Structure 1
């Protein structure tokens, strides 16, 4: 394994290079949502039918994450990172030049191919380049800009749409990408595996195809005539997923080992992640549409209104460890999940006449509750993994997180269609469809509390033990 260049400059600036790549990806994941109604008008489409622009990117990132480590070991970390930034930047340029929804969806897939490698490879380089004593401090530098992406994305998207055009949402990635290429060439170590490891290509194909088909099935439902196609695609996805796990039981080196699910808290964490995120992960997509289509906000107003959600999400991360130490995983997640469900469902009562302070206060509470929930879910999932399974378990969790976002957005769009939102001819009918959708996703999110009730009662509690000692 090649070591980090001895240059102190490389050591000093490498975390900022990785952080800027994280920021670019996280910004891109949130900046588009605010611009969807404007893009829809540009393409003479309905805003509620443009969810494919978001799901195409998320789904591509999801299916390529399992292969990112193997490709990095094969090509070297520097070459992989250079390739990822290049593909992401080219995809951004093509998105800006798109002349139709279909063309932009394809270009978002190209963007996703590059974006899929930025986070995993960047995190892997940091892990391999610094001693464990420095790892926490370095990782903090890397993750803080990534947390700012969801805060700045909607606002920046609103400003760009309001004062320029939606094309600049993608074009701003070009100069950032050019700077990233130069910095990667100068600072990134070229780490490769000493021994080439065999990759589970059959398993990768089955798992990825399953995710794509299931999400396409949910995304394809646009009327009664599309229901058979939805059933066929989602059923095919389910069958391929079953085949993957049957193959994984017999494989010597599966991409995701079934043995991981023998670890109780890992199994609970993955199941809870899927259900909880299925309910709440569509919010960054759904809220800008609700603001602009139902409440009549401008793109800038919509982006500014999401600041309480993102800011409380950021601030609450400092509270979660202390709450865990005092109350434990089960107590926090059961209560918090019900809270998230109730807050999501409360948007059923929000309309054009709702006072802004009530709306912004609800979003702030929801952002804080989501932050605590995601911190608890992720740490619960990984906390009991032995070192030998840490890489595979973390990769599966990352894949599930990305897949849940794509499926959640597709499911929210399906719900809006089922409640008449896509075909509605009046503003009141669209508002009713949104209200019913919020109530449904709230119920789904709250249902995950029954899964988290299976966690051991004292898991995570540390303060009582200190007092007892």
Structure 2
């Protein structure tokens, strides 16, 4: 066996050619299929998704313990966002220099350290610092986890692997709200953070045992100025977008967004003068990556607005209790979970371009129907609408997250995952801003302070129009885009030999 494979360290240029054909164990043992790799990475995504949804239910209890208004707890949430903004762009560089497996494992440990400190917090400032540390770990887990998957799975297995990756990650948001309610009712809110420990430690053990190490071919020079400019820009934009969803803070939000745009422009100028910037804008010259970023960004604005608008509509517009609203809103996550079994077959049958166009319109229509829901609709019908909406949009993101890397060279894979994850987080936050702005504009003519169902209809139609506009970009995909990833073309002879060897072993 080649020494590189025996030692479990493979150069990036060989990552998709050899490691993708046969996924080795970290120590050079028997090969492991893509399901094993995807489920191991999903441990981290499950932990992060569960943490975010459970925490939301604990804010009132935490505010009582800290003797502060519950609105002040938003600082703990935005501290996490700030860490994401700062460290996501740098994640690819860390992976190339120190190895994707090493950094992914370290990211889990940092997230666990932050969780443990959050559980020990006795006041709000300490919690804010702990959440920042937790966010630093989370910022590395998302893009590097995807990078590990991209470098460990055959191209034609990528759709199925992405589905396996996302399924456990979706379980976190499903069980989060009821689990949070149980913990707050019968235990202490600190157990929300303690729950991360066994899941994260299991992930560290499995990463150590089963994931191979992959590093970049050459060290990349540090880009300190780019790190500062991108961090300030993204941090201000994320904070600004998040603040627009809160009344009375629009002036501060506008100032932050303005600073973010100015520093962002300075970063673009800096990146144009540097060969290896921390966020490589030249990736947008690659057709499938560019189209996935643009169309996916438009769709993610709608996806970011929906979790903001839907609970408000059910509780404020329909007069539901928080517990009833939470039970209904899990329908979208359940629809997403059900879709993952069908995605590989559908993409293999219809291809990426046709699937993205047709399913994108169906997903947008699902959000439009959400806007015309009314309190007198039967609950099973509302539940079914939300489940269908989650089904279509989850398929759309599975396709975007896969096709984005179809034409990326292995040597640029880490830069691509950092770039993509950065825009993914930014657009989801922007969705909250757009949803809040649309709702306020709908209420403005009547001068109402409390939104009515009709106001939510306007807001949902606005964000639906944004996601529907992604169709223009979906139509620009080549008809043959992603054929190898979807399995519509025969596997290369080398990949076929590798599969037969894997089967024999």
Q: Normalization by structure 2: what TM-score?
A: 0.74
Aligned pair partner of 2:451 in 401, 405, 429: 429
- Could you say what secondary structure the match of 1:385 adopts? coil
Structure 2 counterpart of 1:444: 466
* Distance (Å, rounded) in 2 between the aligned partners of 1:457 and 1:127: 23
- Could you say what secondary structure the match of 2:451 adopts? helix
Contact 1:347 1:439 in 2 (8 A): no
Q: What is the number of residues matched between the two proteins?
A: 460
Contact 2:364 2:464 in 1 (8 A): yes
> Which stretch has the larger CA shift, 332-341 or 373-382?
332-341
By how many angstroms is 1:344 displaced?
2.1
* Distance (Å, rounded) in 1 between the aligned partners of 2:483 and 2:31: 42
Q: Are 1:371 and 2:394 an aligned pair?
A: yes
* Distance (Å, rounded) in 1 between the aligned partners of 2:314 and 2:188: 19
Give 1:103-142 correspondences, 5 Å limit: 104-122=127-145
Contact 1:95 1:170 in 2 (8 A): yes
Contact 2:86 2:231 in 1 (8 A): yes
Aligned pair partner of 1:407 in 422, 427, 430: 430
Contact 1:157 1:169 in 2 (8 A): yes
Structure 2 counterpart of 1:65: 88
* Distance (Å, rounded) in 2 between the aligned partners of 1:140 and 1:225: 41
> Which stretch has the larger CA shift, 453-462 or 319-328?
453-462
Q: Are 1:262 and 2:260 an aligned pair?
A: no
Structure 2 counterpart of 1:151: 174
> Which stretch has the larger CA shift, 361-370 or 272-281?
272-281
- Stretches of structure 2 lacking an aligned partner (at least 5 in a row): 9-25, 490-505
Q: Say what the alpha-carbon RMSD is for the aligned residues.
A: 4.3
* Distance (Å, rounded) in 1 between the aligned partners of 2:131 and 2:251: 27
Q: Are 1:283 and 2:299 an aligned pair?
A: no
- Stretches of structure 1 lacking an aligned partner (at least 5 in a row): none
By how many angstroms is 1:177 displaced?
4.3
1:277 and 1:188, CA in 2 relative to 1: closer, same or farther beyond 3 A? Answer: closer
Give 1:328-347 correspondences, 5 Å limit: 328-347=351-370
1:318 and 1:184, CA in 2 relative to 1: closer, same or farther beyond 3 A? Answer: closer
Structure 2 counterpart of 1:392: 415
- Could you say what secondary structure the match of 1:429 adopts? coil
* Distance (Å, rounded) in 2 between the aligned partners of 1:270 and 1:138: 20
* Distance (Å, rounded) in 2 between the aligned partners of 1:274 and 1:139: 19
Structure 2 counterpart of 1:316: 339
Aligned pair partner of 1:350 in 367, 373, 377: 373
By how many angstroms is 1:271 displaced?
1.1
Q: Are 1:231 and 2:254 an aligned pair?
A: yes
**For 1:136-178, what per-residue CA distance to the aligned partner results, in whole angstroms no more than 9, with x for missing partners?**
6987765543343233333423433454454432232244445
> Which stretch has the larger CA shift, 381-390 or 240-249?
381-390
Contact 1:215 1:410 in 2 (8 A): no
Contact 1:74 1:193 in 2 (8 A): yes
* Distance (Å, rounded) in 2 between the aligned partners of 1:410 and 1:98: 30
By how many angstroms is 1:67 displaced?
1.7
- Could you say what secondary structure the match of 1:255 adopts? coil
1:133 and 1:302, CA in 2 relative to 1: closer, same or farther beyond 3 A? Answer: same
Structure 1 counterpart of 2:475: 453
* Distance (Å, rounded) in 1 between the aligned partners of 2:368 and 2:299: 14
Q: Normalization by structure 1: what TM-score?
A: 0.79
* Distance (Å, rounded) in 1 between the aligned partners of 2:358 and 2:163: 29
* Distance (Å, rounded) in 1 between the aligned partners of 2:62 and 2:406: 43
1:429 and 1:198, CA in 2 relative to 1: closer, same or farther beyond 3 A? Answer: same
By how many angstroms is 1:100 displaced?
7.0
**For 1:96-149, what per-residue CA distance to the aligned partner results, in whole angstroms no more than 9, with x for missing partners?**
455777765554322111112234444555667x68699869877655433432
* Distance (Å, rounded) in 2 between the aligned partners of 1:225 and 1:19: 39
